[in-house]
Amino acid sequence: MEEKNMRKKYLSVLIGMTLISLPYVTFGEGAETAQSNSDSSAPSATLADYVMDDLVITGQREKVLQGAYARNNTTFGLLGNRDVIDTPASAMVIGPRTVESFTASTLPLDKVLSVNPSIRMAGSNLHNDFTYRGIRSNGTSSLINGIPGLMTQFNAPTYAMDHIEFLDGPSGGYTGSAIQYESTAAGGMVNFVTKKAGDEPRLIYKQTFTGRSNMGEYIDVSKRFGAQKQWGVRVNAENLRGETGVKGERVNAASIYVNVDHKTTHHNTNLFMGYRDGEVENGMRWFKLGNVDTLPKAPSGKNNYSFDGMYKSTYGYILGLNHEQKLNKTTTLFFNGGLNHNNLDNNIMAKFSSYTLNNSNGDFNLEYQIGGTPQNTYYAQVGTRHEFGSPSVKHKVTVAFDKSWKQRESGITPNYNNGTNNFGVLGTGNLYTGLNQTSMPITKYRTGLAARQQMWGVTALDEISYKKWNLVLGVHHHSATTNNYNNKTGNLVSSNTSSSTSPTYALMYKPNDNWSIYGSHSEYFDAGTPVGNAYRNAGAILPPAKTKQNEIGVKYQNNGLLTTLSLFDIKMATNIVVNRTVAGNAGTWLLQDGADRHKGVEWTINGRLAKKWSVFGGAMYLNAKKEKTTGGRQDGTRVSAQPYWSGTVGVEYNPNAKWGLMTRMTYFGDSYIRNGASKLVNVPSYTVFDAGVRYKTKWKDSSAVFSLMAYNLFNKNYWMASRGDQVYVATPRTYMMSAQFEL
């Protein structure tokens, strides 16, 4: 704990030094800055920088749709930037206003991601889990500036992000290889794009208050340097402390991130790096079902089910580098790479992160375990892009090679207070009456090597354009090795080597500037799944799971409004939990058996409804069922925690330039999870509303923006189906107030 406090002191000093130096960094050389701003060679403010309420957007005006809740341009993996309507796949980009409105420090990451209807909420402040077209994902399956492996499962620096890009469906053929932890990228790609310096220097201070007592301070400073402003530096820092909307739950964090970019006519370089130290106290929200046939009534979202001593802390740093070098008019070389060193150094939690309900009255035992998962991830990709062809037929050929490395440790614990080395028991609890804790958890442990994974791959793509047609042909090959170790002895327990070749192809027809029609096929292979300690076959490595998707869709864009309708069919080899006895060893086993078939329809709408009205969101119908399981034992049953219908729609009204009024509705249909006897139990549907107001004014010669958000406006109590066969106690009504000043 002393080491933890020392890290916080160092980071607080660093942030303080940043605050002190900002006026000099931002506004030094004032005469020179003024002169360069008046230079006729500088980009026109009316074309490149413009103000949309309290947001300054750098780039072409039309790239951010009205309201700034979405953008109409995206990064199509290795094929580069383009408009969403020109992407032969289902794609969506949530804009800076969305990131700002739905990333309160006390809210899970999925609150903002679920603005995309492909994303369904499944996380908490402890884990950044979500499902993508019904497939479990988390931060480790996301990218930052196109680089995989920089996010963790436990925190996401969204305040340093400008916008978030989505490419639905398996995208390995467009992005390259990657290694995840307790998740997969088979459902789609989530790419966080960092904030970069605009043409004008900016210094922004923001103060937030959310939950019961959580106070946050944010600094955002940026400036461009050089005769042509070719260098840009943007620094974002965060310091937050206090209680969330759940009584007794606290989220504390301090972090700093820096983005440096350099642009010339021949190359484009971007460096993003940062450090974060965070902790969550008393964040318990997950439950499993024992032999319970009916889900108990949802308790109050304000209840806290954490035993005394429950605590999670993590710290680490990331670095990501992108570089493009233009050799001539037709050929470009590129590099994408990075590293992520993250240490979950304290994790005193419920057994496998959740309690097990013993009956429909809501009784459970306070079973717990401790540990840590230090992880190091590395990634490197090099490639070339070459354009050639005739005036009528044009080719863009991309070839890339990449490699990923990941090493993970896990906790080694002594005997718990019940005499076992599996888990401890601290007392009992009830959903409605609270906890009866009779002892305190042990806190000391050490870690040892648990797993090493490597994956290398090669991707080749040819994008062919002919008049109103666009054809993409691609192939991706990768080889992966997964090694599991005994974390006490360091001895190799199991190993698996696999390889796969996956085709990618898409065809798009664009009859005019407003419409596009497309069809696509994409595939994805993971590296194999190490079986965790929750199962009898712990230490085994399940075979790599292959995912295939076919999709057709149509897009329409006009007068600032962008909408997409798509139909998709995903087939994914699946791992299932089976109760059985092998050689006298009875219990639950994790096995690869059969496939999950996800057939769905997705609709998105973003942008301008009318002059003062903006809309964002969409809806998804998903029919997710199991097929080809051994003996047909689960054929035709619904995939756990996946409803048929879900969606979110938000509307903002701007009566004038100063005021903004917003509301959002989120619906999640009824679903099923399996209890301890593998019987399906219904989880009821729910509808939740958010609302907010924003006011822009002047405060002592500075631009100021005051905002108030209410999440779960009507304080609805409900169960959220989550993480397979678990349910999650909903977050209660939470207010967030903020005051932002541009100095």
For 97-116, the pLDDT digits (tens) are: 999 999 877 788 888 999 99
Report whether 664 contacts 690 (CB < 8 A): yes
* Local structure of residue 45 (DSSP, 8 states): T
Q: Please identify which residue in the block is written with the tokens 């995903």.
A: 570
For the CA atoms of 625, 287, 344, 167, what is the dihedral angle to 10 degrees?
Answer: 30
State yes or no: pLDDT of 61 exceeds 50. no
- The rounded distance, in Å, linking the Cα atoms of 122 and 63 is 31
pLDDT for position 29: 41
- Does 537 map to a domain? yes
Q: Which residues are CB-neighbours of 220 under 8 A, at least 6 positions away?
A: 195, 202, 203, 204, 206, 234, 235, 236
Least confident of 77-86, 533-542, 563-572, 592-601: 533-542
- Does 496 map to a domain? no
* Local structure of residue 545 (DSSP, 8 states): P
- The rounded distance, in Å, linking the Cα atoms of 338 and 714 is 43
Q: How confident is the model at residue 417 (pLDDT cuts 50, 70, 90)?
A: low
pLDDT for position 2: 53
- Does 549 map to a domain? no
For the CA atoms of 79, 82, 83, 89, what is the dihedral angle to 10 degrees?
Answer: 0
Q: How does pLDDT run across 518-569, given as a tens digit for each residue?
A: 999 998 887 777 777 667 777 777 777 788 999 999 999 999 999 999 999 9
Give how far Cα 620 sits from Cα of 218, 397, 600, 602, 683, Å. 35, 34, 7, 4, 18
SS3 assignment, position 401? strand
pLDDT for position 371: 86
For the CA atoms of 152, 157, 160, 165, what is the dihedral angle to 10 degrees?
Answer: 60
- Does 500 map to a domain? no
State yes or no: pLDDT of 52 exceeds 60. no
Least confident of 218-222, 236-240, 293-297, 590-594: 590-594
> Mean pLDDT across the stretch 401-417?
87
Give how far Cα 352 sits from Cα of 284, 358, 525, 538, Å. 11, 16, 26, 13
pLDDT for position 177: 84
Least confident of 24-33, 294-303, 717-726: 24-33
Give how far Cα 437 sits from Cα of 53, 431, 667, Å. 51, 14, 36
- The rounded distance, in Å, linking the Cα atoms of 377 and 405 is 6
Q: Which tokens belong to 380?
A: 């490197």
State yes or no: pLDDT of 184 exceeds 70. yes
State yes or no: pLDDT of 620 exceeds 90. yes
Question: Sign (positive/negative) of CA torsion 75, 77, 82, 88?
Answer: negative
Q: Which tokens belong to 176?
A: 């390259």
- Does 193 map to a domain? yes
- The rounded distance, in Å, linking the Cα atoms of 669 and 648 is 12
- The rounded distance, in Å, linking the Cα atoms of 538 and 146 is 33
Instruction: Report which of residues 627 and 154 the model is more confident about.
Output: 627
Q: How confident is the model at residue 631 (pLDDT cuts 50, 70, 90)?
A: confident
Give how far Cα 209 sits from Cα of 101, 161, 245, Å. 13, 20, 11
Q: Which tokens belong to 739?
A: 């005051």
Report whether 205 contacts 219 (CB < 8 A): yes
- The rounded distance, in Å, linking the Cα atoms of 210 and 233 is 30
- Does 55 map to a domain? yes
pLDDT for position 10: 55
- The rounded distance, in Å, linking the Cα atoms of 312 and 371 is 10
Instruction: Report which of residues 672 and 49 the model is more confident about.
Output: 672
Q: Which tokens belong to 284?
A: 């318990």
pLDDT for position 681: 94
Q: Which residues are CB-neighbours of 581 under 8 A, at least 6 positions away?
A: 587
- The rounded distance, in Å, linking the Cα atoms of 49 and 60 is 8
pLDDT for position 140: 82
Q: What is this structure's pTM? A: 0.90
- The rounded distance, in Å, linking the Cα atoms of 111 and 123 is 9
Q: What does the radius of gyration of the chain's CA atoms come to, in whole angstroms?
A: 25
Greatest distance between any 2 Cα atoms in the chain: 82
- The rounded distance, in Å, linking the Cα atoms of 247 and 733 is 12
- The rounded distance, in Å, linking the Cα atoms of 157 and 145 is 13
SS3 assignment, position 17? helix
State yes or no: pLDDT of 41 exceeds 50. no
Average pLDDT, the chain: 87
pLDDT for position 141: 85
Q: How many Cα atoms are found within 13 Å in the side-chain-facing hemisphere of 617?
A: 21
- The rounded distance, in Å, linking the Cα atoms of 233 and 252 is 27
* Local structure of residue 98 (DSSP, 8 states): H
Q: What helix, strand, coil percent values describe the chain, rounded to 5?
A: 10, 60, 35
- The CATH number for 518's domain is 2.40.170.20
- Does 550 map to a domain? no
Q: How confident is the model at residue 649 (pLDDT cuts 50, 70, 90)?
A: very high
Number of domains in the chain: 1
- The rounded distance, in Å, linking the Cα atoms of 641 and 119 is 13
Report whether 441 contacts 424 (CB < 8 A): yes
Q: Which tokens belong to 439?
A: 């002892």
Counting DSSP H helices and E strands in the chain, the numbers are: 5, 46
Q: How confident is the model at residue 623 (pLDDT cuts 50, 70, 90)?
A: very high
- Does 150 map to a domain? yes
pLDDT for position 719: 96
State yes or no: pLDDT of 40 exceeds 60. no
- The rounded distance, in Å, linking the Cα atoms of 294 and 361 is 10
> Mean pLDDT across the stretch 69-78?
92
- The rounded distance, in Å, linking the Cα atoms of 183 and 589 is 18
> Mean pLDDT across the stretch 509-521?
97
> Mean pLDDT across the stretch 484-504?
89
Domain housing 519: 2-489+505-543+556-742
pLDDT for position 707: 97
